[in-house]
């Protein structure tokens, strides 16, 4: 099978972890006999420095022509520390999501037996936790207009907007995943306060009868935040709006023991995008210390979701599990007193594990 992917390393640790992800991808293609076509492009701060735009037209064209986008991270302190900056790296990510029509971000959360000790929660609470967070990605507060500041600069405002069409399409997607999993859907909102949340709940109640085999649960976002800590195994599929999803999925990421373990897939109207959920961690850039596992697991999602190649995705997952079992991991998840491996060493180990299937 011919696999065409756009590779967008981005900023900070992005190029390093994408390099390790590509080791896994090329190994899988070698083992399973796929023809890989890849091309790199600029995005984020790297693109601003090169051409003044965080998501150049050439990058978008490559993404549209590819079957999948393999993406690293965006962000740079130069822009974070300058409130007056008119162009920011993060604008590139928002533009990419909007122009590719990526309205749903899928973040699977699961624990790994070899790393239960790394979770900040008790092992009995997190062992066996396995749920899917589905975050609406192109609407809500991040995209709503008007947005800005008053003429005197003393007042700032953002607008949260959702249409019934936007809510219905992501709820149908979420119900589809719930059907294939444990048949429970939790809608997270703030319907006791926000008009947009009441629209979400109204649409969900209209759709629920079409999915009688799925249990539909409604939960306020503050309660959901507590439940993630108290009883994470109670969730199966969680669906929510953009900002709530942004916050809750970062909270959920630590259940596994490190934000460096969670991959994600963004899907929608055009080319799907696969990326780790963590940021660019610019302080670690070039030091060969970043955890590449979330990036590598994002490659597994890419094979499964973009190409429908489940066995190839499982080959990567088994190799990642082997690295954890063998203790070939970076400092953030290493055993106390155990050996710490470099980013590239973890990637090399996983590549060799995949190739050993031949």
CATH number at residue 187: 3.40.718.10
Q: How confident is the model at residue 358 (pLDDT cuts 50, 70, 90)?
A: low
8 vs 88, which has greater pLDDT?
8
Together in a domain, 170 and 298:
no
Task: State the DSSP code for 54.
Answer: S
Query: Quick check: 129 pLDDT over 70?
Result: yes
Together in a domain, 139 and 235:
yes
Together in a domain, 97 and 138:
no
Task: State the DSSP code for 338.
Answer: S
Task: State the DSSP code for 133.
Answer: E
Together in a domain, 157 and 247:
yes
Which among 82, 206, 222, 339 is annotated as catalytic?
A: 222
Which among 190, 211, 305, 341 is annotated as catalytic?
A: 190
Distance in angstroms (rounded) separating the CA atoms of residues 242 and 196: 11
Give the Å distances, CA to CA, from 194 to 186, 205, 243: 18, 17, 13
Total Cβ atoms within 10 A of residue 85: 13
Bridge pairing between strands 237-240 and 130-136? parallel
User: Would 209 be classed as within a structural domain?
Assistant: yes
Together in a domain, 139 and 212:
yes
Q: Which of 224, 256, 288 is the last residue of a domain?
A: 256
Together in a domain, 221 and 134:
yes
User: Would 112 be classed as within a structural domain?
Assistant: no
pTM, two decimals, is 0.88
Distance in angstroms (rounded) separating the CA atoms of residues 149 and 314: 49
Q: What pLDDT is stored for residue 253 in this prediction?
A: 84
Question: Which pLDDT tens digit goes with each residue over 134-166?
Answer: 999 999 999 899 999 999 989 999 999 999 999
Secondary structure (3-state) at 280: coil
Distance in angstroms (rounded) separating the CA atoms of residues 295 and 316: 11
Q: What pLDDT is stored for residue 79 in this prediction?
A: 83
Number of domains in the chain: 2
User: Would 346 be classed as within a structural domain?
Assistant: yes
Bridge pairing between strands 2-10 and 35-40? parallel
User: Would 114 be classed as within a structural domain?
Assistant: no
Query: What are the beta bridge partners of residue 148?
Result: 157
Contact 291, 20 (CB under 8 A): no
Together in a domain, 3 and 100:
yes
Q: What is the mean pLDDT of residues 21-35?
A: 97
Distance in angstroms (rounded) separating the CA atoms of residues 45 and 39: 19
User: Would 115 be classed as within a structural domain?
Assistant: no
Which among 142, 162, 175, 211 is annotated as catalytic?
A: 142
Total Cβ atoms within 10 A of residue 185: 27
Any catalytic annotation for residue 246? yes
Any catalytic annotation for residue 190? yes
User: Would 145 be classed as within a structural domain?
Assistant: yes
Secondary structure (3-state) at 197: helix
Together in a domain, 126 and 166:
yes
- Domain of 29? 1-106+260-358
Distance in angstroms (rounded) separating the CA atoms of residues 170 and 220: 18
Which among 80, 130, 250, 332 is annotated as catalytic?
A: 250
Together in a domain, 249 and 272:
no
336 vs 25, which has greater pLDDT?
25
Which among 80, 246, 332, 348 is annotated as catalytic?
A: 246
CA 343, 349, 354, 358: dihedral to nearest 10 degrees?
150
Contact 170, 104 (CB under 8 A): yes
Query: What are the beta bridge partners of residue 38?
Result: 5
Give the Å distances, CA to CA, from 252 to 228, 287, 289, 329: 7, 27, 23, 21
Together in a domain, 127 and 214:
yes
Q: Which of 233, 256, 279 is the last residue of a domain?
A: 256
Any catalytic annotation for residue 142? yes
Distance in angstroms (rounded) separating the CA atoms of residues 242 and 260: 21
Any catalytic annotation for residue 211? no
User: Would 96 be classed as within a structural domain?
Assistant: yes
Angle value at C-alpha 52, between 48 and 58, nearest 5 degrees: 85
The mean-pLDDT minimum among 63-72, 120-129, 254-263, 346-355 falls in 254-263
Question: Which pLDDT tens digit goes with each residue over 56-73?
Answer: 999 999 999 999 999 999
Q: What pLDDT is stored for residue 314 in this prediction?
A: 96
Q: Which of 231, 256, 281 is the last residue of a domain?
A: 256
User: Which of 327, 328, 303, 325 lies closest to 314, judged by CA?
Assistant: 303
- For the chain, first and last CA: distance in Å? 18
Q: What is the mean pLDDT of residues 24-46?
A: 97
Q: What pLDDT is stored for residue 292 in this prediction?
A: 97
């Amino acid at each position: 099978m011919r696999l065409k992917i756009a590779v967008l390393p981005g900023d900070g640790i992005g190029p390093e972890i994408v390099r390790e992800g590509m080791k896994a991808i090329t190994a899988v293609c070698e083992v399973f006999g796929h023809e890989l076509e890849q091309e790199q492009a600029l995005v984020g701060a790297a693109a601003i420095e090169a051409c003044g735009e965080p998501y150049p037209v050439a990058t978008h064209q490559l993404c549209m022509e590819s079957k999948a986008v393999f993406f690293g991270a965006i962000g740079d302190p130069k822009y974070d520390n300058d409130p007056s900056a008119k162009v920011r790296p993060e604008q590139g990510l928002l533009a990419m999501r909007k122009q590719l029509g990526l309205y749903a971000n899928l973040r699977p959360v699961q624990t790994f037996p070899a790393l239960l000790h790394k979770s900040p929660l008790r092992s009995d609470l997190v062992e066996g936790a396995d749920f899917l967070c589905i975050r609406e990605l192109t609407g809500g507060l991040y995209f709503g207009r008007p947005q800005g500041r008053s003429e005197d600069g003393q007042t700032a405002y953002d607008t949260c907007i959702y249409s019934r069409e936007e809510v219905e399409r992501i709820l149908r997607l979420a119900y589809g995943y719930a059907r294939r999993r444990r048949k429970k859907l939790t809608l997270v909102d703030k319907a006791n306060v926000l008009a947009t949340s009441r629209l979400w709940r109204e649409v969900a109640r209209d759709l629920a009868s079409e999915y009688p085999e799925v249990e539909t649960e409604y939960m306020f976002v503050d309660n959901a935040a507590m439940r993630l800590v108290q009883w994470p195994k109670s969730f199966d599929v969680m669906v929510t709006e953009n900002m709530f999803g942004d916050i809750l999925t970062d909270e959920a990421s630590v259940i596994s023991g490190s934000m460096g373990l969670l991959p994600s897939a963004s899907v929608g109207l055009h080319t799907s995008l696969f990326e780790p959920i963590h940021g660019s961690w610019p302080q670690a850039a070039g030091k060969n210390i970043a955890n590449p596992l979330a990036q590598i697991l994002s490659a597994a999602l890419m094979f499964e979701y973009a190409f429908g190649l489940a066995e190839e995705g499982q080959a990567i997952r088994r190799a990642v599990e082997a690295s954890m079992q063998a203790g070939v991991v970076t400092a953030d998840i290493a055993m106390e007193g155990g050996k710490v491996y470099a980013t590239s060493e973890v990637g090399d180990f996983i590549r060799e594990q995949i190739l050993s299937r031949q």
